[in-house]
Amino acid sequence: MAAIIVKVSLGNLPEVRRAFAPGSRMLRRVYRAQALVYAEAMRTRFATFSAGGGTWAPLSSATIFGRLARRGTGTARLAKLKAKLRSDIEADSDGAWGKYFKAVASLKRSIAKRRAGERAHVRGQRTLPLGYQTGGAQILRDTGTLFRGLSIRSAGNQTIDIAEGLSYGFRGPHPRGSLTLARLATIHHYGGGRLPARPILVDPDPATVARMEEVTNRLVAATVGGRA
C-alpha cells in the first residue's frame, strides 16, 4: 500500500560503509528503527481518522445500527430484561410488574426508532433519525483488530525482513468471518462498489520522514563514534 525510501549519506569511511552494507546487522537495525517510527505515525493517523478527524467517509447508518444491535440494543436487551425480572414477576414482589411494563414500553420506543431509521436508510436517507445515538461507533474500529494490527510485534502485525528493507503490514485471520486481516485491510484501503476507499497504510508525511531520517542519522553517528 505504501513504499518508502529514506536516503542517508554514509560518507566515505570504508568501515562505516561496511557496517551498513546490504544485509548487514546494522542496516537491519536502521530498517527496524524506521519501521517503528512509521508504525507509530500510522497508528496516530488511524486513531484520528477513526474518530472523524480525517478524510475517511463516515459510517453509514446501517453499519451503526448493526453494531448497536450486536451490543444488545433493542430486542436482545428486551429478552435479557425478561429473564432478569422473571423471578420477581412470578413472585409479584417490589412492584416488579410495574417496573417491567415501564421498561418494556421504553425499549419498544427505542426499537421503533431504530427500525424507522433502518427503513429510512433503505430508502436512501444517509442521516440517522433525530435523537438517535451512534453509541460511540468509530470508523473501521469495531473489534479493534485492525488498529491493533498496526503495532509491531502485535498478533495481527507482520513486519519481516526482505531483500532491501522491511515488509510491514497485517497478518492472521480476522475474529469475525473468513477474511484474513490483510485482505480486509486491502478491501477497506481501496474500497469498491458502494464501499468507500479508506486508505490505511499510506506514504509518510514530511514530519514522519524527518523523524525516520533522524533515527537513521543517530544510528550512523553512533556507529561512526564507536569506530573513530
Note whether residue 155 is domain-resident: yes
Note whether residue 31 is domain-resident: yes
| Site of grid cell 468509530 | 138
Q: Say how far apart CA 147 and CA 44 lie, in whole Å.
A: 10
pLDDT at 108: 66
Residues 148 and 118 in one domain: no
- Boundary (domain end) residue, out of 78, 96, 122: 122
Residues 53 and 99 in one domain: no
Note whether residue 186 is domain-resident: yes
Is the distance from CB of 50 to CB of 43 less than 8 angstroms?
A: no
pTM of the model: 0.67
Residues 102 and 35 in one domain: no
Q: Say how far apart CA 136 and CA 103 lie, in whole Å.
A: 23
Please report the DSSP string for 95-130 in residue order: THHHHHHHHHHHHHHHHHHHHHHHHHHHTT--SPPT
Helices 206-227 and 25-50 pack at an angle, to 10 degrees, of 160
- Boundary (domain end) residue, out of 72, 88, 122: 122
Per-residue pLDDT of the chain (228 residues; tens, 9 = 90+): 555 655 555 555 666 667 767 777 888 888 899 999 999 999 999 999 998 888 998 877 667 766 665 655 555 655 665 666 566 556 656 666 666 667 667 766 666 665 565 555 444 444 444 444 445 678 898 888 999 999 999 989 999 988 878 899 999 988 877 889 999 999 999 999 989 999 999 999 999 999 999 998 888 787 766 543
Strand partners, 195: 192
pLDDT at 188: 95
Give the residue from 81, 70, 130, 137 showing the smallest Cα distance to 108: 81
pLDDT at 126: 46
Note whether residue 3 is domain-resident: no
For the four alpha carbons of 64, 65, 70 and 73, in that order, the dihedral sign comes to positive
Q: Say how far apart CA 136 and CA 28 lie, in whole Å.
A: 41
For 43, list phi and psi in degrees, rounded to 5.
-65, -45
Note whether residue 9 is domain-resident: no
Residues 165 and 216 in one domain: yes
- SS3 category, 5: coil
pLDDT at 162: 86
Residues 143 and 100 in one domain: no
What is the number of domains present in the chain?
2
- Domain range for 82 is 61-122
Residues 46 and 65 in one domain: no
Amino acid at 6: V
Q: Say how far apart CA 200 and CA 203 lie, in whole Å.
A: 10
Note whether residue 128 is domain-resident: no
